[in-house]
A and B are shown apart, each in its own frame.
Chain A
Amino acid sequence: MTTRLLRRTAVAAALVATLAACAPQAAQVDSSASTGTVDTDAASLGDVTLKFLDFSGGNDEVYMKKAIAAFEDAYPNITIERTAADFDQVMATLNLRLADKDGPDVATINNGWQSMGTLSKGGLLLNLDPYADAYGWRDQMAPTIQTEHEFTTDGATMGKGSLWGTPGARLTTMGVYYNVDKLDALGLEAPTSVEDFEAALAAAKDAGEVPIEQGMQEKTFATAPLFLLQTMLGDPTKITDFVYGNGDGDLAGTGMLDAAQKLADWSKNGWFNGDASGLDLEAGRNAFQAGTGVFHFDYSGSMAEEGVDGSKFARLALPQDDEGAAVAVGAPAAVLGIAARTEHPDAAAAFVDYLGSVEMNQLAVDSGMLPIRYDGVTLPDDGGVYSTELEQTDQVTQHDGYVPFFDWASPNMLDILGGQAQLVFAGKSTPQQLVDAAQADYDDFHAGK
Chain B
Amino acid sequence: MASAQLAVAVPGRERTSAAPAGSRKGRRRRRWIGLVYLAPGLALYTWIVLVPLGQSFVYSLYQWDGVSAPVPVGVDNYTAFFSDPELVAALRHVVVLVFFFALLPIALGLTSAAILSRRRLRGQSAYRWVLFLPQVITSVVIAVVWKRILAPAGPLNEALRAVGLDSMAKSWLGDTAWALPSLGLIGAWVTFGFCMVLFIAGAQSIPTELYEAARVDGAGPAREFFSIMLPALRPQLAVALTLTVTAALRTFDLVWLTTQGGPGSSTLTPAVLLYRRAFQNPDVGAAAAIGVVMAVFCLVVAVLIQRISERGETP
Chain A positions near chain B (C-beta within 8 angstroms):
15, 18-20, 22-27, 91-93, 95-96, 99, 114, 118-119, 121-124, 155, 216-220, 222, 274-279, 283, 411-412, 415, 418-420, 422-423, 426, 428-429
Q: Choose from B67, B173, B263, B284 the contact partner of A419 (Cβ within 8 Å).
A: B263
Question: Interface readout for B153-187 with A: 1 if CB under 8 Å, 0 if not?
Answer: 10000000000000000111111100000000000
Q: Does residue B265 face the partner (Cβ distance < 8 Å to A)?
A: yes
Q: A426-B263, A428-B264 are in contact. Are A415 and B55 (CB under 8 A)?
A: no
> For window 116-143 of chain B, which residues contact chain A by CB distance below 8 Å?
none
Docked complex Cα distance between A120 and B279 (Å): 17
Total number of B residues with any Cβ neighbor in A under 8 Å? 40
Q: Which residues of B contact A27 (CB under 8 A)?
A: 66-68
> For window 266-285 of chain B, which residues contact chain A by CB distance below 8 Å?
276, 279-285
Chain B positions near chain A (C-beta within 8 angstroms):
51, 54-55, 57-59, 62, 64-70, 150-153, 170-176, 259-265, 276, 279-285
Docked complex Cα distance between A418 and B283 (Å): 20
In the complex, what residue of chain A is closest to B52 when comparing beta carbons?
A22
Q: Which 6 A-B pairs have the closest CB atoms?
A: A278-B171, A122-B67, A275-B152, A277-B174, A278-B174, A422-B263
Docked complex Cα distance between A95 and B59 (Å): 16
B152 touches A278 (CB 8 A): yes
A25 touches B70 (CB 8 A): yes
Determine chain A's interface SS by DSSP, over half rule. Answer: helix
Shortest B253–chain A CB gap in Å is 14
B51 touches A18 (CB 8 A): yes
A114 touches B70 (CB 8 A): no
Q: Which residues of A contact B62 (CB under 8 A)?
A: 23-24
Q: Which residues of B contact A411 (CB under 8 A)?
A: 281-283
Q: Choose from A26, A93, A220 the contact partner of B68 (Cβ within 8 Å).
A: A26
A95 touches B262 (CB 8 A): no
Can you report 8 A-B residue pairs in the complex whose CB atoms are below 8 A from each other? Answer: A26-B69, A91-B280, A114-B281, A217-B171, A217-B262, A220-B260, A422-B263, A426-B176
Q: A18-B51, A277-B175 are in contact. Are A121 and B70 (CB under 8 A)?
A: no
Q: A24-B70, A222-B262, A426-B264 are in contact. List 5 more A-B contacts (CB 8 A).
A: A95-B282, A278-B151, A278-B171, A278-B173, A420-B264
Docked complex Cα distance between A124 and B282 (Å): 15
Q: A24-B62, A95-B282, A422-B264 are in contact. Are A415 and B51 (CB under 8 A)?
A: no
Shortest B289–chain A CB gap in Å is 13
Q: A24-B284, A275-B153, A422-B262 are in contact. Are A118 and B66 (CB under 8 A)?
A: yes
B264 touches A423 (CB 8 A): yes
Q: Which residues of A contact B51 (CB under 8 A)?
A: 18, 22
Shortest A83–chain B CB gap in Å is 18
Q: Which residues of A contact B282 (CB under 8 A)?
A: 95, 114, 118, 411
A217 touches B174 (CB 8 A): yes
- Pick from B170, B175, B265 the residue with the most CB of A within 10 Å: B265
In the complex, what residue of chain A is closest to B275 when comparing beta carbons?
A92
Q: Which residues of B contact A19 (CB under 8 A)?
A: 54-55, 57-58
Q: A18-B51, A22-B58, A275-B152 are in contact. Are A219 and B172 (CB under 8 A)?
A: no
A419 touches B259 (CB 8 A): no
A415 touches B58 (CB 8 A): no
B173 touches A121 (CB 8 A): no
Docked complex Cα distance between A159 and B178 (Å): 42
Shortest B87–chain A CB gap in Å is 13
In the complex, what residue of chain B is closest to A279 when comparing beta carbons?
B152
Q: Which residues of A contact B261 (CB under 8 A)?
A: 219, 419
A419 touches B264 (CB 8 A): yes
Q: Which residues of A contact B55 (CB under 8 A)?
A: 19, 22
A418 touches B54 (CB 8 A): no
Docked complex Cα distance between A217 and B266 (Å): 12
